[in-house]
C-alpha cells in the first residue's frame, strides 16, 4: 500500500535532483517535449510549479489516426489552460521511414529530435526537457544488458545528454500518476504502449511485472543500481583516460594538419600489454575510430601470443592491416598505427620549367630554381632541399607517388635499389610508404605516374647519386618543398 502522496515532497525531490546535476539556469528558457501522456504532462506541471520559464513542443507523427489528432488537441487545451506557448510540428513519418530505409520508430525519433533541436536554436532556449523517469531508466538498463553494451550501458538513462535534459529520473511512474491525481489533471494514453510488440514494451509489460513478484521494488532497485554504476563510471572513465594516455602518442611526422590525436595516433604495444585489462583498454582506445569488438579481439590476439617472448611479440605480425571503414590500423615494429582512411589520392604533377608550384589544396609548394655553382652558392643539406646538377636533368619534371617497381641509386651508394627497400631500411611504415613522393624526369607526353621514368629525388629522403653535384657542375637545380612539416610531406 503506497503512502499518502505529498506533492511538495515530489517537487522538492525533482528540484534537488535538477540542482545536483545543474540542469537549469535561473534565467533560462526550456522546451518541454509534450506528447500529452502522463509523463510529459507531469513534467510540464512540475517545471511550472518550480518557476522555470517553459514552452512546449508537440510532434504529430500521423501514425495513429484519430488518436494522433486527439493528442494534439489535448496539448493545445492544456497549454492554453497553463498559459504556456505551444509549438506543433506535423510529420509524414511513414514516407520518411520508407525514403531513408529506417524503421517507423527510428524515423519518429530522428524527426522528433531534429525538430526539437532546430526549435531550441530558433527560440534561443537553454535545453529540451523530456519526461523519462526512474522506470524508463530501469527498462533501459535491462535492454542494454540484453544487448551487451558494456558498463556504460548499465548506467541507464543519464540526466543530461547535450541539450537534452531529464529532470524526472529521480521519480517513478507511480509517483507521477499520484502527482497528477492530486492536481486532478487528466492525460492521454498512447494505445501502442499497451501492446508488447517492441522490446521496451515487452520488458515493461511482461518482464518488469515478473521481477516485481520477486521484489515489489524491482524498478526502483534497478534504477538505483543504474545510478551507482553511473557514479562508478565517473572513476572508471578517469582511470581509462589515464591508461589511454599512457599507451598512445602522436605518430611523429604522419600527423595531419587539422587531425586530433585520437584520430591519427599510435599505440605502444608493450605499454598496452602491461595494463591490467589490455584488451578492454585497446577497445576503449579504438572504439571511436569505428573498430568493432570482433576486430579488437583479432588485433589483440595478433599482438599477445602467450607463448612468444615479449620482444618477439611486438614484431610478430608487423605489416598486418585492419580497416574499420573510416580508419586503418597497422601493426608496425612494436606499435599499432591508426590513421584515417585517405579520402583522395595525390594526383601526379608535371613541371615544364622553373618556378614555384602549388601541389596540394593545403598550399604546399614546390620551388624549382637554377643557381650558379660559384662562390656564392651554399649547399643546403636540409631534408626538404634537393640540389642536382642542372646539366644532367631533362624537362619536364614529374612529382608522383612512389610505386613498387621504382628504383634509384641512393646518394652515397654505388648500385640501384628499390625505393620500397630503401624506405624499409629507413624503418618507414606502410602508411608512410603509401604517401612517399618521388620527383622524376618525364617525357613531354607523360602525364601519368610511371615506374619507367628516372627518379631524381625520393622527396625529403635522398637524391639519386647520378644527379648529384660534382666538381664539374656549373649550374645547380635547387628544389625545395615548402610545407609546414619539413620532415615528411604528407599527402592524402
- What pLDDT does residue 45 have? 97
Question: Any idea which of 8-17, 133-142, 160-169, 194-203 has the lowest mean pLDDT?
Answer: 194-203
Residues pairing with 418 in the sheet: 407
Q: Which three cell numbers stand for residue 439?
A: 620527383
Q: Kindly report, residue by residue over 435-482, the tens digit of the pLDDT.
A: 999 999 986 554 444 445 899 999 999 999 999 999 999 999 999 999
- What pLDDT does residue 251 have? 59
Average pLDDT on 176-181 reads: 96
- What pLDDT does residue 173 have? 93
- What pLDDT does residue 481 have? 95
Check: CB of residue 247 under 8 Å from CB of residue 271: yes
> What pLDDT band is residue 345 in, cutting at 50, 70 and 90?
confident
- Say if residue 342's pLDDT is above 90: no
Average pLDDT on 32-37 reads: 96
Check: CB of residue 42 under 8 Å from CB of residue 176: yes
Q: Kindly report, residue by residue over 295-315, the tens digit of the pLDDT.
A: 999 999 999 865 445 455 444
Burial 92-112 (b: 16+ CB within 10 A, else e): ebeebbeeeeeeeeebbebbb
- What pLDDT does residue 79 have? 97
- What pLDDT does residue 259 have? 37
Check: CB of residue 192 under 8 Å from CB of residue 155: no
> What pLDDT band is residue 433 in, cutting at 50, 70 and 90?
very high
- What pLDDT does residue 483 have? 75
What's the rounded Cα separation, in Å, for the pair 281 and 176? 41
- What pLDDT does residue 260 have? 38
- What pLDDT does residue 306 have? 53
- What pLDDT does residue 308 have? 46
What's the rounded Cα separation, in Å, for the pair 271 and 286? 15
Pairing of strands 248-249, 164-165: unpaired
Instruction: Please write down the HEC assignment for all residues of 411-476.
Output: CCCCCCEEHHHHHHHCCCCHHHHHHCEEEEECCCCCCCCCCCCEEEEECCCEEEHHHCCCCCCCEE
- What pLDDT does residue 265 have? 92
Q: Rounded to whole angstroms, what are the CA distances from 491 to 27, 318, 320, 399, 435? A: 50, 23, 22, 12, 6
- What pLDDT does residue 461 have? 96
Check: CB of residue 226 under 8 Å from CB of residue 141: yes
Place of cell 501522456: 37
Average pLDDT on 93-113 reads: 94
Check: CB of residue 58 under 8 Å from CB of residue 88: yes
What's the mean per-residue pLDDT of the chain? 89
Q: Kindly report, residue by residue over 311-337, the tens digit of the pLDDT.
A: 554 445 678 999 999 999 999 989 999
Amino acid at each position: 500500500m503506497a503512502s499518502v502522496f505529498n506533492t511538495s515532497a515530489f517537487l522538492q525531490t525533482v528540484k534537488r535532483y535538477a540542482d545536483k546535476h545543474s540542469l537549469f539556469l535561473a534565467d533560462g528558457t526550456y522546451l518541454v517535449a509534450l506528447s500529452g501522456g502522463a509523463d510529459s504532462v507531469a513534467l510540464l506541471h512540475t517545471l511550472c510549479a518550480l518557476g522555470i520559464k517553459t514552452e512546449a513542443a508537440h510532434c504529430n507523427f500521423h501514425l495513429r489516426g484519430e488518436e494522433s489528432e486527439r493528442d494534439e488537441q489535448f496539448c493545445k487545451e492544456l497549454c492554453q489552460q497553463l498559459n504556456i506557448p505551444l509549438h506543433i510540428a506535423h510529420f509524414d513519418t511513414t514516407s520518411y521511414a520508407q525514403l531513408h530505409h529506417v524503421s517507423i520508430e527510428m524515423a519518429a525519433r530522428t524527426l522528433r529530435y531534429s525538430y526539437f533541436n532546430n526549435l531550441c536554436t530558433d527560440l534561443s532556449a537553454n535545453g529540451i526537457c523530456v519526461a523519462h523517469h526512474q522506470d524508463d531508466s530501469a527498462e533501459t538498463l535491462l535492454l542494454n544488458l540484453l544487448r551487451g553494451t558494456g558498463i556504460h550501458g548499465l548506467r541507464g538513462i543519464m540526466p543530461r545528454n547535450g541539450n537534452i535534459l531529464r529532470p524526472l529520473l529521480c521519480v517513478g511512474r507511480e509517483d507521477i500518476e499520484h502527482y497528477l491525481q492530486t492536481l486532478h489533471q487528466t492525460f492521454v494514453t498512447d494505445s501502442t504502449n499497451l501492446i508488447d510488440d517492441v522490446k521496451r514494451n515487452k520488458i515493461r509489460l511482461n518482464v518488469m511485472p515478473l521481477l516485481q513478484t520477486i521484489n515489489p521494488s524491482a524498478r526502483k532497485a534497478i534504477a538505483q543500481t543504474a545510478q551507482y554504476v553511473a557514479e562508478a563510471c565517473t572513476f572508471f572513465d578517469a582511470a581509462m583516460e589515464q591508461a589511454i594516455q599512457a599507451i598512445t602518442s602522436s605518430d611523429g611526422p604522419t600527423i595531419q594538419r587539422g587531425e586530433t590525436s585520437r584520430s591519427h595516433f599510435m599505440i605502444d604495444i608493450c605499454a598496452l600489454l602491461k595494463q591490467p585489462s589490455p584488451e578492454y583498454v585497446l577497445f576503449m582506445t579504438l572504439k571511436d575510430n569505428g573498430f568493432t569488438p570482433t576486430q579488437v579481439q583479432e588485433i589483440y590476439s595478433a599482438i599477445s601470443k602467450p607463448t612468444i617472448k615479449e620482444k618477439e611479440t611486438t614484431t610478430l605480425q608487423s605489416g598486418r592491416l585492419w580497416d574499420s571503414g573510416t580508419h586503418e590500423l597497422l601493426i608496425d615494429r612494436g606499435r599499432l598505427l591508426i590513421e584515417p582512411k585517405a579520402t583522395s589520392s595525390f594526383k601526379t604533377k608535371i613541371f615544364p620549367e622553373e618556378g614555384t608550384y602549388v601541389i596540394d589544396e593545403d598550399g604546399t609548394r614546390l620551388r624549382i630554381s637554377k643557381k650558379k655553382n660559384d662562390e656564392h652558392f651554399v649547399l643546403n643539406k636540409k631534408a626538404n632541399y634537393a640540389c642536382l646538377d642542372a646539366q644532367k636533368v631533362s624537362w619536364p619534371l614529374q612529382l608522383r607517388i612512389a610505386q613498387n617497381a621504382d628504383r634509384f641509386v641512393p646518394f652515397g651508394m654505388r648500385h640501384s635499389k628499390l625505393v620500397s627497400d630503401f624506405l624499409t631500411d629507413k624503418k618507414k611504415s606502410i602508411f608512410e610508404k603509401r604517401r612517399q613522393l618521388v620527383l622524376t624526369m618525364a617525357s613531354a607526353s607523360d602525364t601519368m605516374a610511371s615506374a619507367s621514368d628516372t627518379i631524381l629525388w625520393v622527396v625529403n629522403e635522398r637524391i639519386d647519386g647520378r644527379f648529384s653535384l660534382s666538381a664539374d657542375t656549373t649550374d645547380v637545380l635547387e628544389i625545395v618543398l615548402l610545407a609546414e612539416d619539413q620532415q615528411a610531406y604528407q599527402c592524402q
